Structure 1
């Protein structure tokens, strides 16, 4: 570790530890009242988190349970990922579109380098019409999410494509405690209805749920987001020997609220909630059928998941206005229809080696995407002006992985593994020169060393290699779709290498803390641009940082969370443009207080800080920082009736969800456009009142 990195980490850790110590001093009287309360605290921590000493292979790995998810408000389903410490979830163009994600110095765009799964099904869409790794979580019904298991880094053999920064696996509950009917209302014509229940059936359990929602938002052109989602799930068997079959369906449509130029607002030509092109918008659908089974015996465990997904997207967006086409404007239509099939099987064997406990796991993951049409059109007010590109893509992959866990003694455990991934890209383009087939392969070793526990404290050392795939169209490109200029094919699979050292402790009664210092190198920051239909050249990168996460039980009904993260992101190759990576988040903080079962009362307060980011390589243009707070207050009217009030942007802060810096052109401006800040404002303070009835 270089002195420069160590000094930077020390400077970052010092204020974090000061903040933590201040919080603990303030809360310590409640924690120290009696030993019995401390014992209760330990149980309650595990009720919201399954991150105890001895449960993970890295300090940055953990599990969030439904008990915590149920108590916190969320403006959008995608914000479920903010339960992963250090993750920021925002939006830049309509609630029906996939969110923007940030973690560990990455602007992850719509999901690249963060892998997300729901019930074993990959959510990241590779070779997507809008963006590589596109992760749209709007199909989720948050009340049905049972657990969120998260990992960060390249150290896990069972995680493959898109997982270099991290991965989250969400599982749907097999049943609900009781049937519920929920009706929520709020400002801007927000309306949501949900019915969910489960019942015994044929020796198993049948779960069903239906959600309908509408929201206009604060935008001058009402967003008119409409959501229809349903889940039907049958499960049977015991916890360690069971199976489930799940059908999910989702449809969404909306008018977009795309980012706008700052100069138009400063000149009073526009208001923050206006749109340059009010015809932007989209519609999407997702249908899936999945099967999952686990079988446990004395010698091992077998697990298998198989899935079939059908998804559709039509998206209209105009981000440069009249820069390329001063007559019709720059709106583009991105369209895709996808059929995805896949499976994930793994076998674990438990045994001993020279008297030491040992387990071996081997797994095979396969996926095939058939995408047709996959198209980009120039449009004006959603009317097609010309075709930029049309393709049919078939992309198949298989990943074989293995890991070995060996308990050398009471204080030393190792996990050594590796995976091998093979990809096949098959592109049929309307531009003959851009058609072709490409094969690619990559091997990724992994290692974790766990020391302890000593005094309820354990230490971790992790290292490994990972990768992310590039858009299939970029692997066969020879002419740019718009200008028809020569282009070089991109590297199909981009190598990443990461390492981490960390500590987790439960030494203080009721407090669970972890700290991790990490580093990640990527061979290339190049990503396919769905807006342009081609790839922009980029350089290799290095990111490093420190994370401090804390969960503290003050007493049996009060939980505090404090998560702090600092990261540094730079290109590794020198260029006159500069060494900063645009959009790379540096500082993130989250503070939460959760109250549960305080008589008829429960609720939560959540404050999130999103630090400033460089917007161009020389760091001469930066976004502002932002802080936003949510509040939920719930009251049980009776055993079956509950009333909740959610307040979003509690302090009504005038902040931005996201900022960009690039050239655009408004009517009357020079042909070359104007370099300017473009922003999407956060929604002002809003209220949602929810009435829930049990049956």
Structure 2
């Protein structure tokens, strides 16, 4: 059997005729098979890779994607920082995520546009994660400029299990996963509970995360039906980024905090359903979401008396659905596959607010709004099999976004709407059964915060300010090669280019809009997987990116951009029941200033995992930050003010350290 296809999970793909569905079993992480994918930089991550990857946080799932870097600058309950293809994605802008047909990115969010919080996902319930870098498929819409990832929930877990994990700094995690047959269907249930104090010297992180999932699925000759309910609730305290000078002056240590009252609470409850027939697919969802977040990045710069702590709140419901239809036809002797679809999404943001606080006590309101935002989408994609070697894909997508903002300042209330027509095209050529070439081009977009599209007066300075467009278009292209040796070797390379019309974004931390310029990015990505034997495999991935603003002066660097991301790993089953994994992750020097004079130090960390499994139980030891690196998870360069410093503040590097070496032991009982 192909070493990529050891039985772990089952992924369904359609080839040539949509009526014929082929079952493919995915082991770990594989790129798309030759001739299967629309691009060279796409792939599928299976449960086998997820369960054998050491991770400090479950939200690091996206770091399984080659070239994706995931860091954190705050508490464990907050969305991560993401970096890919030269983008500082902040908390998710320009990379689209989806689970079970539901969008994860949040529009007009209280903390940042495209906010992507993955804490509600229980990793053990994921069958596969399919990803595509770039935006060359018409189903990729808002936030997919740099790419997208889709989490697919499991309908048939490999086994029922009860897992208990203990670790340093009072880390405890419990997971229960089970399934049972109900008539002609199957019911899957899962719960997760996690607590954690963290390694910080001045605060107890006091994480209290609870997750639950209940999923019913049924297969029949007419189609496949699933209904899923998910629930998430979390509270935490935060150790935010700190200024370098505070450590040098001995005020705090690298694990210390200047404001010990930061943190937040968040919840997410959802109900979704999916039905897939031979040609027709339908999905619908309803999500209830809340966030209550306290932060302080500049200490006493804006308010020398009470300090600069602020509170961001977001309370919304999201509803929507998709409908797609696939059919085949012939144009002469050329087989043609068509996909036509429509999407609807409505965000009813009851309250999104920014408030000045002190020690989590309310002081004043910066701004408070309610937002109603609705998007309508229609798309058509055609796949032509021009010959045994050559395949072409053409697509067109139309998006319309309508928003209404009701602000506490009537000058900032109003309506806004925007639309975009985007085209996509791809060519795939099979040089041999093992070697394929790809040429792709596509237009995509990200939406901006609706409040930035209706704003007239800055809520802090009360000065007149400019609005931003609701939708910002991008253009991207890719040339790639993929070599697939089903016995030992898998290699892919992609040379890509991307331009964005504007980096205009609403700044959630400040409550106003900040205009940037158009930008250009290009780079090369390499991925290689080598199976030395049935028990030993190596992999290496590297991404090199050049990112610049499209302006004619020297201040054209994009702050936060990462020029190099690389990872490497070895998996070794050194005995029949023993499995081990060693992973290295490297993030190059990040750009901290627009003139290029300030850059972070690189980050390199090594994680390890060893497991022993019998028929009905499994023991696992994780060694996280194996060599106890004191590199920084993230760095920023900006002005802040400590007590006693000049009123104008001091420009300094602000960073969040990676967590020190920690050990975690898990025991799983398998049924």
Within 1, Cα distance between the matches of 2:222 and 2:440?
29
Matches within 5 A, 1:285-296: 285-296=267-278
What displacement does 1:558 show?
A: 2.1
What displacement does 1:175 show?
A: 2.5
| 1:47 aligns to 2:37 (yes or no) | no
Picking from 244, 251, 256, the partner of 1:269 is 251
**Which residue in 1 is equivalent to 2:215?**
233
Residue by residue, what CA displacement relative to the aligned partner does 1:483-536 show, whole Å, maximum 9, x if unpaired? 111001111111100001000012584111000000000011121111111111
Structure 1's unaligned 5+ residue stretches are 1-38
Matches within 5 A, 1:180-191: 180-191=161-172
Aligned length: 651
Within 1, Cα distance between the matches of 2:4 and 2:198?
41
Within 1, Cα distance between the matches of 2:545 and 2:268?
35
Within 1, Cα distance between the matches of 2:261 and 2:5?
53
Within 2, Cα distance between the matches of 1:507 and 1:203?
39
Within 2, Cα distance between the matches of 1:613 and 1:620?
11
| 1:591 aligns to 2:568 (yes or no) | yes
Matches within 5 A, 1:606-621: 606-621=583-598
Residue by residue, what CA displacement relative to the aligned partner does 1:264-322 show, whole Å, maximum 9, x if unpaired? 101111101111111010000000000011101xxxx2111110000000000000000
| 1:82 aligns to 2:63 (yes or no) | yes
**Which residue in 1 is equivalent to 2:191?**
210
What displacement does 1:455 show?
A: 4.6
Deviating more after overlay: 620-629 vs 590-599: 590-599
C-alpha RMSD of matched pairs (Å) = 1.4
What displacement does 1:605 show?
A: 1.1
Matches within 5 A, 1:405-484: 405-484=383-462
Provide the secondary structure at the position in 2 that maps to 1:668. coil
Change (3 A) 1:179 1:509: closer
Deviating more after overlay: 502-511 vs 45-54: 45-54
| 1:657 aligns to 2:619 (yes or no) | no
Matches within 5 A, 1:594-673: 594-596=571-573, 598-636=575-613, 638-673=614-649
Residue by residue, what CA displacement relative to the aligned partner does 1:131-182 show, whole Å, maximum 9, x if unpaired? 0000000000001110010011121111100000010001110131221111
Provide the secondary structure at the position in 1 that maps to 2:139. coil
Picking from 164, 186, 189, the partner of 2:145 is 164
Matches within 5 A, 1:464-613: 464-507=442-485, 509-575=487-553, 578-596=555-573, 598-613=575-590
Question: Any conservation in 2 of the 1:72–1:603 contact (CA below 8 Å)?
Answer: no
Structure 2's unaligned 5+ residue stretches are 7-24
**Which residue in 2 is equivalent to 1:146?**
127
Residue by residue, what CA displacement relative to the aligned partner does 1:397-416 show, whole Å, maximum 9, x if unpaired? 01111100000001110000
Question: Any conservation in 2 of the 1:40–1:556 contact (CA below 8 Å)?
Answer: no
| 1:201 aligns to 2:179 (yes or no) | no
Within 2, Cα distance between the matches of 1:340 and 1:467?
20
What displacement does 1:456 show?
A: 1.0
Within 2, Cα distance between the matches of 1:240 and 1:582?
52
| 1:248 aligns to 2:211 (yes or no) | no
**Which residue in 2 is equivalent to 1:101?**
82
Picking from 656, 661, 666, the partner of 1:685 is 661
Provide the secondary structure at the position in 2 that maps to 1:143. helix
TM-score normalized with structure 1 length: 0.92
What displacement does 1:641 show?
A: 1.3
Question: Any conservation in 1 of the 2:188–2:215 contact (CA below 8 Å)?
Answer: yes
Provide the secondary structure at the position in 2 that maps to 1:584. coil
Residue by residue, what CA displacement relative to the aligned partner does 1:40-80 show, whole Å, maximum 9, x if unpaired? 53645952325211110100111111121121121112111
Question: Any conservation in 2 of the 1:175–1:197 contact (CA below 8 Å)?
Answer: no
Residue by residue, what CA displacement relative to the aligned partner does 1:200-250 show, whole Å, maximum 9, x if unpaired? 012100000111110111112011111000000000015982110000000
Question: Any conservation in 1 of the 2:2–2:486 contact (CA below 8 Å)?
Answer: no
TM-score normalized with structure 2 length: 0.95
Within 2, Cα distance between the matches of 1:456 and 1:240?
36
Change (3 A) 1:239 1:575: farther
